[in-house]
Structure 1
Amino acid sequence: MNNSVLDKDYKYFIENMPAFYKKYGHRFLVIKNQGVLGDYDTFKSALDATLTTEKLGTFLVQECFKDKKQAVNHFQGNVAISKRKAA
């Protein structure tokens, strides 16, 4: 899977974050192929659970916020994540 697929998944997440927040609340979502594979309490639980069925580097783990402005950093590598900006 190349980075353009993960970029599309990240864009999908950002565009749909308000709806995701309404449905899931402040959770960690696993995104793959522009769909939500699961929602978890912590980043670690999301990653651990997803690695049982998915290959590292083929999905995103994103922290879901009420406001898109809170999800500011996008890191890509084996796993792409967003983290809240320090206040």
Structure 2
Amino acid sequence: MLDRERRYYNTRRRKLQKKYQYKFIVLVGRKIVGVYDTHAEAFADSRKTFETGAFLICDTSVPHRI
């Protein structure tokens, strides 16, 4: 579940962290569908469009792979 999103993030982690420093990005497949300041905002907004489990929220301030 969410393997495609994890692979996408992990292979582009450094680039995404540099571009979206200290933000929460929402991935669906290999597409960034949202960028937010907090996890709560990312989750609440993403739930309006996607089912839980259909999107991955990535914290770009975390230095390791997910």
Report the TM-score, using the length of structure 2 for normalisation.
Answer: 0.86
Name the larger-Rg structure.
1
Decide which of 56, 60, 64 is 1:64's aligned counterpart: 60
**Structure 1 consecutive aligned stretches of length 4 or more whose deviation exceeds 4 Å:** none
Which structure carries more relative contact order (alpha carbon 8 Å, separation 6+)?
2
Pair 1:19 & 2:15 matched: yes
Report the TM-score, using the length of structure 1 for normalisation.
Answer: 0.67
2:34 matched residue in structure 1: 38
Distance in 1 separating the partners of 2:52 and 2:62: 27
RMSD over equivalenced CA pairs, Å: 1.6
Q: Report the count of equivalent residues.
A: 66
1:78 matched residue in structure 2: none
* CA spacing shift, 1:54–1:61, aligned 2, 3 Å: same
Pair 1:53 & 2:49 matched: yes
Q: Larger % of helix: which? A: 2
